[in-house]
């Protein structure tokens, strides 16, 4: 086995925070650099990313199962089991990714039509979706390897690779979007090529790091020989976990449809504001992912009391952190929005949306952190059921009522976001405090058991 690393919330979370920020920057880099090329191109890529986000969630169900199962195996001191789960996960997501790459390449236009995309956006949206979607299998493998490295505690590795991918993407965007020197100006096509190539290079580096950190050179039998119970456990955790996020992303596609009824300016405004909001809630995302790994190790070691308190304390950190960041981003709303546009209407509406985001983000923190905690202890179905109820029977009706019927526009959309996040967040807190999950252990710890540095 490769080099060991200690586990603590800070040790795990700060590299995850930076990695998530850089992942968001990769998408925002395309948006920002294309905004200097054409506002229409920004809208076109925004529609494509709606589809790609849903696809990425589908890959996430294997990654989520991988994090939890590998963490519990390591907590139980069963390193061979952890390695077998790792390569089983890589194969599952690689095959799944190849299948979805084929679907996006062949049916990309039809998928965009489902979003009621304006004709003015169709050509560029289709170009971006077919190219980035055609290589989406690379992202599937990257997600799986990154999840494994984090489970082992090597969060800095995933962060470092993400830094490299972002640098390559930005350099590629500069040369292929704008076409300086003798390079062609390709616009959206250039952004798509840059994104895909940088991810392929990232895959090569992640593969090398996986071999180095586990200390095992992969052989053919690791990819071909899988235990049925491993596949079953990964899917039992991952599919319901992905169901909650998938339900959210699908509901957001309906929200996007409502926004198209408001107007093309509303589409662009929503994209710009949500690009800024991503940097607010990544604090909670990072804490949620770091806590998930630690709680998984605790569960594998049979330390249920520590797992419970880790979830509660992490939720408190995320709540306060997201509130502070939301306030800071509102105070900087003008300069931040001007990075993307000088349109006075977009600036005015966007600033108002960032103001009420101060109410939205603390509720989102409940969800992101406590849902991750519930997944790590095996309570994976409740978040899906509660999420679907709130998103589809509360969030969407309120969005239609406020945005369309009452003609509040994007303000109505944001009101629906606030209600949905707080309703789900409160129920997740009640569920976690109920501690019914303490009866569930996916992996029993081996005896004798050593104490872990967590």
Neighbours of 162 (CB within 10 A): 23
pLDDT at 442 over 60: no
The reported pLDDT for the residue numbered 213 is 85
pLDDT of residue 443: 43
C-alpha 323/C-alpha 24 separation (Å) is 20
Residue in 206, 312, 235, 209 with CA at minimum distance from that of residue 68: 235
Q: Which tens digit of pLDDT belongs to each residue from 182-205?
A: 788 788 888 899 989 999 999 999
Q: Which of 98-102, 252-256, 377-381, 442-446 has the highest mean pLDDT?
A: 98-102
Average pLDDT, the chain: 84
Structure pTM? 0.74
Tell me the two tokens of residue 371: 């849902």
Interval 298-318: pLDDT, tens: 888 888 889 999 999 999 999
Q: State the Cα–Cα distance between residues 101 and 330, nearest whole angstrom.
A: 38
Peptide bond into 217 cis (omega under 30): no
Residue in the block written with tokens 């998103």: 391
**Residue 440 pLDDT class (50, 70, 90 cuts):** low
Range picked from 61-75, 170-184, 327-341 for highest mean pLDDT = 327-341
The set of residues, in sequence order, having a beta carbon less than 8 Å from that of 394 and lying 6+ positions away, is 419, 420, 423
Query: Phi and psi (nearest 5°) for 338?
Result: -70, -15
CA–chain centroid gap for 348, Å, is: 29
């Amino acid at each position: 086995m490769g080099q060991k690393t200690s586990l603590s919330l800070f040790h795990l979370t700060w590299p995850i925070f930076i990695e998530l920020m850089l992942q968001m920057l990769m998408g925002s880099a395309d948006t920002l650099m294309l905004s200097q090329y054409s506002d229409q191109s920004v809208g076109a890529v925004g529609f494509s990313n709606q589809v790609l986000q849903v696809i990425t969630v589908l890959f996430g169900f294997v990654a989520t199962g991988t994090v939890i199962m590998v963490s519990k195996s390591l907590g139980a001191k069963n390193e061979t089991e952890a390695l077998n789960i790792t390569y089983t996960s890589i194969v599952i997501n690689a095959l799944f990714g190849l299948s979805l790459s084929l679907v996006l390449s062949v049916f990309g236009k039809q998928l965009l039509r489902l979003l009621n995309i304006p004709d003015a956006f169709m050509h560029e949206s289709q170009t971006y979706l077919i190219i980035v979607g055609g290589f989406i299998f690379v992202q599937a493998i990257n997600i799986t390897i990154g999840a494994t490295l984090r489970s082992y505690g090597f969060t800095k590795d995933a962060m470092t690779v993400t830094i490299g991918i972002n640098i390559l993407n930005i350099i590629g965007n500069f040369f292929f979007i704008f076409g300086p020197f003798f390079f062609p100006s390709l616009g959206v096509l250039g952004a798509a090529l840059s994104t895909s190539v940088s991810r392929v290079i990232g895959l090569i580096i992640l593969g090398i790091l996986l071999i180095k950190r586990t200390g095992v050179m992969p052989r053919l039998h690791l990819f071909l020989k899988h235990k049925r119970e491993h596949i079953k456990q990964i899917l039992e955790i991952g599919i319901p976990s992905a169901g909650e996020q998938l339900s959210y992303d699908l509901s957001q596609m309906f929200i996007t449809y409502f926004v198209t009824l408001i107007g093309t300016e509303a589409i662009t405004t929503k994209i710009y504001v949500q690009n800024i909001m991503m940097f607010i809630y990544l604090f909670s995302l990072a804490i949620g992912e770091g806590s998930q790994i630690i709680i998984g190790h605790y569960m594998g070691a049979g330390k249920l009391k520590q797992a419970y308190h880790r979830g509660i304390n992490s939720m408190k950190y995320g709540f306060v952190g997201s509130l502070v960041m939301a306030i800071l981003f509102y105070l900087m709303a003008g300069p931040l929005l001007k990075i993307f546009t000088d349109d006075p209407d977009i600036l005015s509406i966007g600033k108002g949306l960032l103001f009420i985001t101060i109410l939205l983000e603390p509720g989102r923190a409940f969800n992101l952190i406590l849902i991750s905690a519930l997944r790590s202890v095996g309570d994976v179905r409740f978040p899906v059921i509660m999420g679907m109820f709130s998103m589809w029977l509360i969030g969407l009706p309120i969005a239609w009522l406020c945005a369309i019927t009452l003609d509040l526009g994007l303000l109505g959309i944001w009101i629906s976001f606030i209600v949905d996040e707080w309703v789900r967040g409160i129920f997740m807190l009640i569920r976690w405090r109920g501690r019914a999950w303490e009866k569930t252990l996916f992996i029993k710890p081996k005896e004798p058991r050593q104490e872990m540095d967590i």
